[in-house]
Amino acid sequence: MTQNAPSISLGPADYPLSINHSELLRTPTGKALSDLTMDAVVSGEVTADDLRIAPETLLLQAQLADASDRPQLAGNFRRAAEMTAIPDAEVLEVYNALRPRASSKEQLLAIAERLEGHYGAAESGALVREAAEVYERRNLLARPEQA
């Protein structure tokens, strides 16, 4: 998904997107900002799933961050774009697995593979791989009886 970077090129003057570029914004369910009205909420046309951010939008915000000389913030947004596809419960699972001494190296690598393979989340997977390596060096993998 990160491969399909938006073709448009944004700079600081385009911010805030909700005001200057609402035409670029879609919910993950394909609705426009202007579709998210009170009437639509009341009628049930808009659900909690519509009030989420789309990966494409996070990549636009990453462009704005890069254009504002904030490469780390942009990187965070790119990982976030990948993670929009991961269900809430699994996000919490991965977070808990990354806690110190919570996982074996194999478990962390399996998570990285799932992130990369199943969700196409290359940058998030890389973060987990890096953690596995550092945890091994710093003795922060699960101790055998806890794994």
Footprint on this chain of other proteins (rule: CB under 8 A)? 12, 15-19, 22, 25, 27, 33, 36, 38, 41-42, 46-48, 50-54, 57-58, 60-61, 64-65, 68-70, 72-77, 79-84, 86, 88, 91-92, 94-96, 98-101, 124, 127-128, 130-131, 134-135, 138, 140
Q: How far is the CB of 77 from other proteins (least distance, A)?
A: 6
**Closer residue to other proteins, CB minimum distance, 96 or 117:** 96
86 touches 119 (CB < 8 A):
yes
Q: Is 32 helix (H, G, I), strand (E, B) or coil?
A: strand
- Closest to other proteins by CB, 3 vs 72, is 72
- Give 16 or 144: the residue with its C-beta nearer to other proteins: 16
Locus of tokens 């951010």: 53
Tell me the CB-side half-sphere exposure of residue 137, using CA atoms within 13 A: 6
To other proteins, the closest distance from the beta carbon of 9 in angstroms equals: 16
Of 58 and 142, the one with the shorter C-beta distance to other proteins is: 58
CA atoms within 13 A on the CB side of 89: 0
Least CB distance to other proteins at residue 99 (A): 5
Tell me the C-alpha distance between 104 and 94, whole Å: 13
**H/E element holding 113?**
helix 105-119
Cβ–Cβ < 8 Å for 1, 86:
no
